[in-house]
Structure 1
Amino acid sequence: MNWINNYVRPKINSMLGRRDMPENLWIKDPETGEMVFHKDLESNQYVIPSSGHHMKISAKERLRYFFDDGQYETIENPKAVVDPLKFRDEKRYTDRLRDAKTKTGMEDAIVNATGTIDGLPIVATVQDFAFMGGSLGMAAGDAIIRGFETAVDKKRPLVLFAASGGARMQEGILSLMQLARTTVAVDRLKEAGLPYIVVLTNPTTGGVTASYAMLGDVHIAEPGALIGFAGPRVIEQTIREKLPEGFQRAEYLMDHGMVDMVVSRLELKATISGLLKILTHTPAADVPALADMSPPAPEPADNRAPA
């Protein structure tokens, strides 16, 4: 069957001049079932215009939307030991890594980059869920630490976009060690007096929420993002009770004080820019959000005597 699909059918189509139509021209809204044209979705940063549902996006796409004019420089990640435990379940860990690299074009789940947002130089660290569920292994841990070290060396704020299913089981205890290592990196950034803002995207779970993802100066969540340690189904099975509506979603967590604000992806750049300018003591005149909220100056009193 593969021989027919991969060789015979393309050969017949080429002889007859047929062209296959892409299957992803229209994308279905998971919430409403509405079909959205892919170009419209791309121009709206993969936020469904009608429902506001936030689709998953790749690390490179997020960086392109986030930085000024889509311009940024990636930071080379350190080399890490591959498959230190020689792990195998249904397939070898090395095969899973190879498949993930082929699928995403990435070496691991983390991309670090430097650039500017509204003219302010920053370092951004992005976790890509498409690479083995954004799981945290040795390579990802080293890459996150490299991002923090770069921010300290360049004396720049760091913005981290978290998206993960948790620790990478194929690396066992070595994966769990990254929780402590990344926490130390966060402490070094704070000792340097540099701001650290975390954006929690869908989903952010497991060991990531037990380390660097919940240690920011400000925690921002995208609408509808699932955020927690264990998933809702695991909790329900453990306590044998039905969880409240919207439990562990961004809006529920903001209402209960776990995140500071829920911000649409379309407004993230402006919001983070304003926060960073406050945290870095940039003059208020350079912060448009503050200037817009300032009260109007009082009109001068007319002290002239009436005619």
Structure 2
Amino acid sequence: MAVFTPIDLADISNWISQDFDIGQASDIRGIHGGIENSNFFLDTLKDGKKQQYVLTIFERLSAEQLPFYLELMRHLANKGVPVPKPIENKQGKILFTLKGKPAAIVTKLPGLSRLEPEANHCALVGEMLAKMHLAGKDFPKAQENLRSLAWWQKTIPQVLSYLNTSQKELLMHELKTQEEFFFSGKYDGLPQGASHCDLFRDNVLFDPKGSDASHDQLGGFFDFYFAGTDKWLFDIAVTANDWCLAENKQDLDPVRLESFLKAYQAVRPFTKEEQASWPLMLRAAALRFWVSRLWDFYLPRDAQMLTPHDPTHFERILLSRRSL
């Protein structure tokens, strides 16, 4: 998350009190981190009680694209999946305009991030990811993953000039491999549906229930604004590539990975096609984030509180996955 469009309390006080039934806005604070939208913690007072929300101003997604993400979150929340639920205004709408840009308000989940996850955290994430996939099976809307193959093909030529020879060769070779995979019958046969596509450690919250992290319960998944209709295996691979890293931050840790996959498959077992495609999909997930981090690093936008991520992190992960 980041802040590209600054907002202060005076900008929203009348809007909140007149258009919503969530009380009077009492505080708004920009959220540091991330690279796509302007995000803020929003506090309100209603009947003397403090309530907390997240306000997002969308910087790249259009008003035509956004109903997929917001209605998916509402659908999952109504099915009991712990995700932020969009707040309706007094006219029943969940998508608004603020400072000339699309905006939404969602509930704030409880808990905190575990950026150094243990095996039990990986298991909790794997179990809920499978439940989320199944809960989204009857979601009526469909929208392609906007950061999938077509976006890689468009973006890679824009970043090649910033890379050395070995990096260029790696990037182009992997793109060719993934093009062949994506156009194969093996890929076509993989089950698909609504997917988060960005379930990193900083997009999951845990609710502490004891004196140490081993007693944590899952607080929920958030930041669905990279979601899309995609192969579930891609969603799983993206998650594993971040949650199940070994201490060297590039290889997969066997204990974390086993905990994650075992918990997922206890809810939804892999098909034979998924089992066979797992190594290539891990590479696809690594390529996706290497490309996006190269793009954000070398072609950044101006923003308050924006810190681009190191692109070489996913270069190393891709090299590791290619050796499996």
Do Structure 1 and Structure 2 share a fold, with TM-score over 0.5? no
Structure possessing the higher radius of gyration over alpha carbons = 1
Q: What TM-score do you get using the length of structure 2 for normalisation? A: 0.26
Q: Which has the higher contact order (CA 8 A, sep 6+)?
A: 2
Q: What TM-score do you get using the length of structure 1 for normalisation? A: 0.27
